[in-house]
Each structure stands twice: as structure tokens, then as C-alpha cells.
């Protein structure tokens, strides 16, 4: 059964203590055994906007849902036209100092595992080992919903370029899912392509759309990481969607400390031992130095 997508969340009015001091995060990470759960806020310094921050994409953009994608050829045409432009920006994004700090903490053993809600691949690009769990998948892969074949996004882009040699759409804004704002006339001129393995299968980016369930095997792996961790550190996520919030709840129910670093209230605040409001990049660079990990470079 598909879940109803949760796009927004409003604070309950309850007050949860927050601080700008990094002490709680430093203490947590210094003891090692921490699992990181990262969200879109970690990638904003790489030029990729988040969904729910002060200038979040949801203020102007409704992301594609799984139901719309599979149920409408017009919706798929619109998605691929917009995503074709968005991919160029996503593929060109570079890891920021926050991503590199997480990689440094993973290399030093302070962080035992990384779960990310992001689909941009920037943790891996920063040098974090490939066992990062891409909770919502990755935009650099494409899956056929008919035959299940996985293929590289670069190959799809080659085929889309061939099918649209004079496509002149101009992206007005990129969104966290690689979608962009695009004039409807440009959408109507765009030609999408089918799976070249089975001939006519529907292609979808290998990401979890709103309203689509995270694969059980992936959830199980995340549960294993949280169960084996001493603590959970949340970086740049409002925790609006249950796919990420469930791990905060799981850690808290097991009596493990949870520290959240985010600009603004989160749906997980009530489960946290501390919430820190600080610019992520600078805070993580400082954290690396304070726990004695190798300095962040690049």
C-alpha cells in the first residue's frame, strides 16, 4: 500500500530548547560510535536548495508524486523535461565543507555510518565510503518500472539529447529532487524516451518519490546502523517525512542520545537531547578540529 505523501509539517507550539553552542555535538561525536542522518540542509552550501527552509522549494514548487508519475504520460513528460535540465546542475554540484567534514569524521572513526535523505551523491563525492545509505535513492541511476533494469543517468541523458537536439528550455530554478521550474511550452516540445532494454518500459529516476515507500531492505539496513550506534546526529533535516523521522524515534526509544543541527524547528525536536542552530558547514569544520580528526581539505 502506498503512503500519502507528507509535504509539510507545522510546529505544535511546544517549545524545545535550542542552542548555538556546539558542546552537545562535540561531546556526542568525541565518544565515537555516532551515526549521521543528513538532509537537504547539508547540501544548500553546494547550491542545491532545501525543501522547507526560509527559501525552501516547497514555497514555490510541488514535487512529483509517485502516483502522478506512474499514472500519467503527461506527468512523466513534464518530469523528464524539467529533470533533464536540472540534472546538468545537479551533476555539476560539488561537495561543500560540511560533506568533507562528515567524510573526515567517518575516516577517523568518530562516525560509524551515514544515512542520507539526499539524492545528490555529494557524500560519496566528498570521500565518504560508498556504504553510505542513500535512503531515498540517487539521481545518477535510472530504473525501468517494467523490467527492473538499472542504468546510468549519463546514458539516459545521452539518449535524451539525441531525442531533443534543439531543446531550448531554460531552467528558472533547481529543486532538491533535480527538478526545475520550466515554461510549459518547453515541456510540450520535449520528447521523453522508453527503456532500451525491454523496448517500451517506463523509466524513472532511481529515487523514492513522495508517496512511494522506501525499499524494506534499505530501511532494515538503516535500522541496523541505528541499533548498533551509540548516538544519532541529524544534520540539516526538518524530519518532516516519516522515512527519516522513524530513525530518530527508534534511537530515542532505545535511550540513545539524539542531537539535531538544523536551522529552524524540526518534527524530531521532542526526541532530541539537544537541537543546535548553526550554519552546518562552519559548525562541522569546527567539530572536526575539536574532536581531533584530520582537518578538512579542498
> Is the Cα dihedral 47, 51, 57, 61 positive or negative?
positive
Choosing from 61, 99, 123, 136, the catalytic residue is: 136
The yes-or-no answer on residue 136 being catalytic is yes
- Grid coordinates belonging to 106: 567517518
Give the span between the Cα atoms of 246 and 239, in whole angstroms. 9
Taking only Cα atoms into account, the Rg of the chain, rounded to an integer number of angstroms, comes to: 19
DSSP-derived letter for residue 42 is G
Element (H, E) at 114: strand 111-116
Give the span between the Cα atoms of 169 and 190, in whole angstroms. 9
Burial class (CB in 10 A: 0-12, 13-18, 19+), 83: buried
List strands edge to edge, sheet with 150-152. Answer: 150-152, 137-144, 203-207
Angle CA 283–289–290, to nearest 5: 85
Which residues are known to be catalytic? 136
Amino acid at each position: 500500500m502506498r503512503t500519502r505523501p507528507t509535504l509539510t509539517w507545522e510546529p505544535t507550539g511546544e517549545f524545545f530548547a535550542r542552542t548555538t553552542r556546539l558542546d552537545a555535538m562535540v561531546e556526542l561525536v568525541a565518544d565515537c560510535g555516532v551515526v549521521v542522518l543528513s538532509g537537504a540542509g547539508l547540501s544548500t552550501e553546494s547550491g542545491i536548495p532545501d525543501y522547507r527552509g526560509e527559501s525552501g522549494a516547497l514555497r514555490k514548487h510541488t514535487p512529483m508524486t509517485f502516483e502522478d508519475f506512474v499514472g500519467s504520460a503527461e506527468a512523466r513528460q513534464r518530469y523528464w523535461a524539467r529533470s533533464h535540465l536540472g540534472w546538468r546542475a545537479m551533476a555539476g554540484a560539488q561537495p561543500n565543507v560540511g560533506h568533507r567534514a562528515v567524510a573526515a569524521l567517518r575516516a577517523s572513526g568518530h562516525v560509524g555510518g551515514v544515512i542520507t535523505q539526499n539524492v545528490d551523491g555529494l557524500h560519496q563525492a566528498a570521500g565518504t565510503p560508498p556504504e553510505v545509505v542513500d535512503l531515498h535513492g540517487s539521481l545518477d541511476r535510472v530504473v525501468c518500472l517494467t523490467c527492473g533494469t538499472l542504468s546510468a543517468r549519463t546514458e539516459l541523458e545521452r539518449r535524451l539529447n539525441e531525442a531533443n537536439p534543439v531543446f531550448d528550455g531554460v531552467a528558472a530554478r533547481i529543486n532538491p529532487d533535480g527538478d526545475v521550474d520550466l515554461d510549459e511550452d518547453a515541456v510540450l516540445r520535449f520528447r521523453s524516451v522508453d527503456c532500451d532494454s525491454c523496448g517500451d518500459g517506463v523509466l524513472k529516476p532511481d529515487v523514492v518519490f513522495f508517496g512511494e515507500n522506501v525499499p524494506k531492505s534499505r530501511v532494515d539496513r538503516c535500522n541496523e546502523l541505528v541499533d548498533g550506534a551509540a548516538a544519532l546526529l541529524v544534520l540539516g533535516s526538518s524530519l518532516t517525512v516519516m522515512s527519516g523521522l522513524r530513525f530518530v524515534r527508534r534511537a530515542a526509544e532505545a535511550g540513545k542520545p539524539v542531537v539535531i543541527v538544523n536551522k529552524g524547528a524540526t518534527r524530531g525536536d521532542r526526541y532530541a537531547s539537544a537541537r543546535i542552530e548553526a550554519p552546518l558547514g562552519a559548525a562541522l569544520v569546527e567539530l572536526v578540529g575539536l574532536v581531533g580528526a584530520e582537518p578538512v581539505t579542498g
